[in-house]
Amino acid sequence: MNLLVLLAIVLLIIAGHQLLKVIELSRGLKKSKEWTVNDNDNDMMGKAMIVFMVLFFAFFFWQIERWIDRTLPPASSVHGEKIDALWDANMYLISFVFLLTNALLFYFAYKYRGKKGRQVAYLAHNNKLEMIWTVVPAVVLAFVIIFGLKYWNEITDEADPKNKVTIELYAKQFDWTARFAGKDGKLGETDYRQISGSNSVGMDTLDANGYDDIIVKNEIHIPIGKEIEFKMRSRDVIHSAYMPHFRMQMNCVPGMVTSFKFTPTKTTKEMRKDPYVIQLMEGINAKRAEENKEPVEFDYFLLCNKICGVSHYNMQMNVIVETPADYKVWLAKQKSFKSVASK
């Protein structure tokens, strides 16, 4: 079989070589040089541009249809809905400009294709055109920037002290540690010089405000309808706290504290019943079944979105959104820093 394949390849190369010789000999029979472009060539290329435009746009819409079910489900936070609305507005705008400009590009290539005797007119400058394509993009970009800044200021502003849950996310290569404010609602001070095996986040052991703080790993719980205020630190390099379903992302920078807040609107149980999520998880579990892996359920999660080292891909934590009552039950089971450190 291998010999036949090799023989077929050799014969194909010989046939191709002979075909090229025929083409080269036929050129000598023409009255004009082969590099001379005539009206038939221009007409054919102009029509080919229209055909290519149709195929190009068809491929564009096919890509949208093919991959739309791989996008994130609707946002599960109050500000996330605004972010999605701004994102959709940008995508519609970009798609409109993309389709319009490319349609004109291909159409002009066809309409103004070369013809014998056609004269070319050159337009060196036009103040009106310059003004239009300067002012219109500036207005559109101003709209995007103004609304983007408005939402940014909202999510980085101080949380409502009467309706908030304060959590610190402590990042290091290659895991997350969460610290919940205790009954006093305040996070204790930290001191990097006190980092040790029993004090992994560097709690200041002299600050009484931190005695009731709760430190958890692997999984955090947050209540629906409350403002979740995150304070973020990093021990080593720049990490990035990323919760895609809540449209949250903030850098964790060594030597400083960054903050972010959002209000979750859907519990984990509600998301698991969402038709879009069900369809998505069916696809994921079908692939896992092919790989002989156990099926998984939907969970919110926290990822690191900065390439922080060799195990960056594995730096994640599950996030469970539940009712305030269930959250209180879970929180009551957690141990305070003082009770753990005293052992």
The pLDDT value recorded for residue 51 is 94
Give the pLDDT band of residue 32 (cuts 50, 70, 90).
low
The pLDDT value recorded for residue 34 is 59
- 3-class DSSP assignment, residue 12: helix
**pTM, 2 dp:** 0.76
pLDDT tens digit string along 130-153?
Answer: 999 899 989 988 988 998 898 888
Q: Which residue has the higher pLDDT, 35 or 20?
A: 20
pLDDT tens digit string along 214-235?
Answer: 899 889 999 999 999 999 999 9
Q: What is the mean pLDDT of the chain?
A: 88
The pLDDT value recorded for residue 340 is 66
CA 265 → CA 36, 75, 151, 321, 328, distances in Å? 67, 9, 17, 9, 17
The pLDDT value recorded for residue 33 is 62
Please check the confidence at residue 27 and state whether its pLDDT lies above 90.
no
pLDDT tens digit string along 95-118?
Answer: 999 999 999 999 999 988 888 877
Question: How far is Cα 232 from Cα 251, in angstroms, rounded to an integer?
Answer: 8
Mean predicted confidence (pLDDT) in 227-246 = 93
Q: What is the dihedral of CA 193, 317, 329, 227, to 10 degrees?
A: 80
b/e 62-93 (16+ beta carbons within 10 angstroms → b) = eeeeeeeeeeebebbbbbbebbeebeeeeeee
Question: Token pair for residue 159?
Answer: 């949380």
Mean predicted confidence (pLDDT) in 281-291 = 89
CA 219 → CA 177, 280, 316, 320, distances in Å? 9, 22, 9, 7
Q: Which residue has the higher pLDDT, 5 or 322?
A: 322
The pLDDT value recorded for residue 28 is 66
Please check the confidence at residue 312 and state whether its pLDDT lies above 80.
yes
Q: What angle do CA 339, 341, 343 make, to 5 degrees?
A: 75
Q: Give the highest mean pLDDT range of 28-37, 38-47, 300-309.
A: 300-309
Question: How far is Cα 229 from Cα 162, in angstroms, rounded to an integer?
Answer: 12
Question: How far is Cα 84 from Cα 82, in angstroms, rounded to an integer?
Answer: 5
Mean predicted confidence (pLDDT) in 290-311 = 91
Taking a C-beta distance cutoff of 8 angstroms, is the pair 249, 235 a contact?
no
Question: How far is Cα 222 from Cα 319, in angstroms, rounded to an integer?
Answer: 7
The pLDDT value recorded for residue 218 is 87
Q: What angle do CA 129, 130, 133 make, to 5 degrees?
A: 80
| Weakest mean pLDDT among 209-213, 221-225, 321-325, 337-341 | 337-341
The pLDDT value recorded for residue 1 is 60
Mean predicted confidence (pLDDT) in 307-326 = 93
Mean predicted confidence (pLDDT) in 278-307 = 90
